[in-house]
Copies of this chain bind each other. A is one copy, B any other.
Amino acid sequence: MGTDRLEAFSDGVMAVAITLLALNLTVLGPHHGSTLASQLHSRWPAFAGYLVSFLTIGIIWVNHHNLFKNIEVIDRTLLFANLALLFFVVLIPFTTSTLAQYLTVGDASAHLAAALYCATLLAMGLSFAFVFVWSIRRGLFRVKFSRDEARQAAWRFGAGNVAYVVAILVALVSAPVALVITFLVALYYVFERTATSPNTSTSTSTDSA
């Protein structure tokens, strides 16, 4: 299988998942006792969750394409590793909704909701890292990495996962702080592009992405 169809299907799944995030945003209509302003105010965790998860899935998509554009052939292992990645991407709207519901409660359920959210992102990140490492090991890349480049690239690919592990631990103490960490991870990947081919290690904003 060439990468075309895998990218088209992955695009479709990510496009639907990123759009379903907005289904978590709802308000009760009038005649429910509280004004729209007070509802929007009390529902801020839903909007914060939408922001962080939209940015996260957006970056997954950006990195997914940068990565697969440098992959020449797809073997069966890669195909199912990509399905695993999508499995966790599709869970993100659910874990976002759960986190938004419990974020400000401050009890064990809030900590669990935040840990679940971060754990899904970690599982997504590990699937993604597996795709990367497997492609290097099997020589599936169009432009090959040197041993040094591969080590450096793998580290940058994996950096987010280390942060997600930290976020899970923090979640056990504070759900909002855990969400902030996942937001910072997303911001990090906006400004620091992952190395998906040897010559992307240095980049400026005017490079072709």
A interface residue numbers (CB < 8 A to B):
1, 5, 7-9, 11-23, 25-27, 29-30, 35-37, 40, 54-55, 58, 61-62, 65-66, 69, 73-80, 83, 86-87, 90-91, 93-94, 97-98, 101-102, 105, 107-109, 112-113, 116, 138, 190, 193, 203, 205-209
Q: Is the CB of B9 within 8 A of A11?
A: yes
With A8-B8, A112-B36 already in contact, the answer to whether A94 and B207 are too (CB < 8 A) is no
Q: Is the CB of B15 within 8 A of A94?
A: no
Q: Is the CB of B108 within 8 A of A35?
A: yes
**Cα distance, A11 to B2, chains bound together (Å):** 15
Q: Is the CB of B69 within 8 A of A209?
A: no
Closest B residue, CB atoms, query A87 = B54
With A35-B109, A208-B73 already in contact, the answer to whether A15 and B12 are too (CB < 8 A) is yes
**Cα distance, A55 to B22, chains bound together (Å):** 20
Extra contacts, 12 of them, besides A22-B93, A74-B209 (Cβ < 8 A), are A9-B14, A9-B15, A13-B19, A15-B15, A19-B20, A27-B98, A54-B83, A54-B90, A62-B83, A75-B207, A75-B209, A79-B209
Q: Is the CB of A5 within 8 A of B11?
A: yes
Q: Can you name 20 A-B pairs with beta carbons within 8 Å?
A: A9-B61, A11-B15, A12-B12, A12-B16, A15-B16, A18-B90, A22-B90, A25-B94, A30-B107, A36-B102, A36-B112, A37-B108, A37-B112, A40-B116, A54-B90, A58-B86, A62-B79, A74-B208, A76-B205, A80-B190
